[in-house]
């Protein structure tokens, strides 16, 4: 059950605000185990480690995408995240120069006292999202899309080099970009196409060298018995890789394995190395073996992690009869 709160309830920094009752009704009727059967019809657009993106199919919420985050334990814990989220968006848009869809956010408090946070964003054409577009674009235009992403990422690395007090990180995976004015009936990539960056829910940024995001949030959805080893072995790497231009580029290329377009990887590596040769951000050349090794390691880690989360959900719901607020994806091809 959901109760209203007067604090941080609905904010509208760039044009999107919804009727509070509609979103609260959706949250009340949401079934985390099977969201498609929730009381208010919805469609899952995507899954993250600590979030789920919905299209809510009710009048008044059409044409919007809602990213649900339930990893916060108190309102006092959420407030610094909101401040960081807004500053991160401001920096990416106004200082770095990335393009982002209009957005807003909403918050309510459940009866258990857990804050439920929604990022509200204009819903873009599904085919325009990078991982969908690369399934319908011809291979030469996919390589062109990849080069456009590299140029957008270059804006981030250039900002970080010039900024004395602030650094921003970014997850450059292809699914985090969308093509503006994409025509799914005649799919193509126009010269000088504009890309939107659509995933700002992980606001990785440092001020005077101090990380502003509470990195422990990454561990909230992990089974309790895994938290210590994830913290010891992976947490620092997860946070720092977003600031590393070379690792972000390798991760971007490796993502094409997951999207079942591995035949393009030689062309993508060649395109990345051409960019590097022309002076792109002072990186060392990238090899196909590096990309495949990176993906193989990443694949093992995330398969194990998701399997453990499913086991944890079973134990909490079926054996301990406890609430499990996270929504887990079904089978993921990797």
Decide: 258 and 130 in contact? Cβ < 8 Å: no
- Mean pLDDT across the stretch 110-127? 85
pLDDT of 12 over the 70 cut: no
- Higher pLDDT, residue 25 or 291: 291
pLDDT of residue 4: 43
24-38, 53-67, 143-157: which has the highest mean pLDDT?
Answer: 143-157
Tokens of 70: 């339930």
* Cβ partners under 8 Å of residue 12, min gap 6: 104
232: which DSSP letter? I
Bridge partner list, 197: 177
Q: Is residue 298 part of a domain?
A: no
* Cβ partners under 8 Å of residue 40, min gap 6: 25, 26, 29, 56, 57, 58
**Tens of pLDDT, residues 183-202:** 888 888 887 899 999 999 98
- Mean pLDDT across the stretch 235-261? 90
**Tens of pLDDT, residues 32-48:** 888 888 888 888 888 87
Cα–Cα separations (whole angstroms), residue 94 to 59, 91, 178, 236: 33, 5, 19, 28
Name the domain count of the chain.
1
Q: Is the pTM of this model over 0.85?
A: yes
Q: Is residue 166 part of a domain?
A: no
Listed range (85-94, 162-171, 301-310) with the worst mean pLDDT:
301-310
State the CATH number of the domain containing residue 89.
Answer: 3.30.200
Q: Is residue 200 part of a domain?
A: no
**Tens of pLDDT, residues 68-103:** 988 888 888 899 999 999 999 999 999 999 999 988
pLDDT of 8 over the 60 cut: no
pLDDT of 297 over the 90 cut: no
- Mean pLDDT across the stretch 99-123? 86
Q: Is residue 209 part of a domain?
A: no
pLDDT of 13 over the 70 cut: no
Q: Is residue 58 part of a domain?
A: yes
pLDDT of residue 159: 97
Mean pLDDT of the chain: 85
pLDDT of residue 86: 93
What is the full DSSP assignment across 4-73?
--SSS-EE-TTS----HHHHHHHHHT--TT-GGGSSS-EEEEEE-SSEEEEEE-STTSTTEEEEEE----
Q: Is residue 60 part of a domain?
A: yes
pLDDT of residue 225: 76
- Mean pLDDT across the stretch 147-164? 95
pLDDT of residue 3: 43
d(CA 184, CA 136): 9
Bridge partner list, 56: 42
Provide long-range contacts, Cβ within 8 A and 24+ apart, for 152-155. 152/98, 152/177, 152/195, 152/197, 153/245, 153/248, 153/249, 153/252, 154/280, 154/281, 155/96, 155/97, 155/98
d(CA 9, CA 112): 17
Q: Name the band, by pLDDT with cuts 50, 70 and 90, for residue 273.
A: very high
- Mean pLDDT across the stretch 122-144? 94
Q: Is residue 31 part of a domain?
A: yes
For residue 91, the enclosing domain spans 9-122
pLDDT of residue 275: 94
Q: Is residue 36 part of a domain?
A: yes
Chain center to CA of 241: 15
């Amino acid at each position: 059950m959901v109760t209203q709160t007067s604090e941080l309830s609905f904010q509208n920094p760039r044009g999107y605000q919804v009727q509070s009752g509609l979103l609260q009704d959706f949250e009340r009727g949401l079934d985390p185990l099977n969201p498609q059967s929730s009381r208010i019809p919805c469609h899952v657009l995507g899954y993250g480690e600590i979030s789920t993106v919905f299209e809510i199919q009710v009048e008044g919420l059409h044409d919007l995408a809602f990213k649900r985050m339930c990893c916060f334990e108190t309102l006092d814990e959420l407030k610094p995240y909101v401040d960081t989220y807004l500053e991160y968006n401001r920096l990416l848009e106004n200082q770095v120069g990335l393009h982002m869809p209009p957005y807003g956010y909403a918050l309510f408090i459940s009866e258990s006292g857990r804050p439920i946070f929604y990022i509200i964003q204009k819903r873009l054409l599904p085919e325009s999202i990078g991982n969908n577009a690369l399934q319908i674009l011809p291979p030469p235009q996919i390589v062109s899309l990849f080069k456009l992403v590299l140029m957008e990422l270059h804006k981030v690395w250039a900002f970080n080099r010039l900024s004395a007090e602030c650094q921003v990180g970014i997850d450059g995976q292809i699914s985090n970009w969308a093509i503006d004015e994409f025509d799914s009936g005649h799919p193509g990539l126009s010269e000088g196409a504009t890309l939107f960056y659509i995933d700002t829910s992980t606001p990785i940024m440092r001020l005077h060298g101090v990380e502003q995001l509470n990195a422990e949030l990454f561990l909230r959805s992990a089974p309790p018995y895994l938290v210590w080893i994830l913290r010891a072995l992976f947490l620092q790497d997860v946070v720092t890789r977003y600031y590393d231009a070379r690792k972000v580029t390798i991760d971007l290329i490796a993502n094409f394995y997951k999207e079942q377009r591995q035949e393009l990887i030689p062309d993508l590596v060649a395109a990345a190395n051409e960019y590097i040769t022309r002076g792109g951000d002072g990186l060392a050349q990238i090899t196909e073996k590096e990309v495949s090794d990176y993906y193989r390691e990443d694949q093992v880690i995330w398969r194990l992690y998701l399997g453990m989360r499913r086991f944890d959900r079973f134990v909490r719901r079926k054996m301990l009869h406890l609430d499990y607020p996270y929504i887990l994806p079904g089978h993921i091809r990797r």
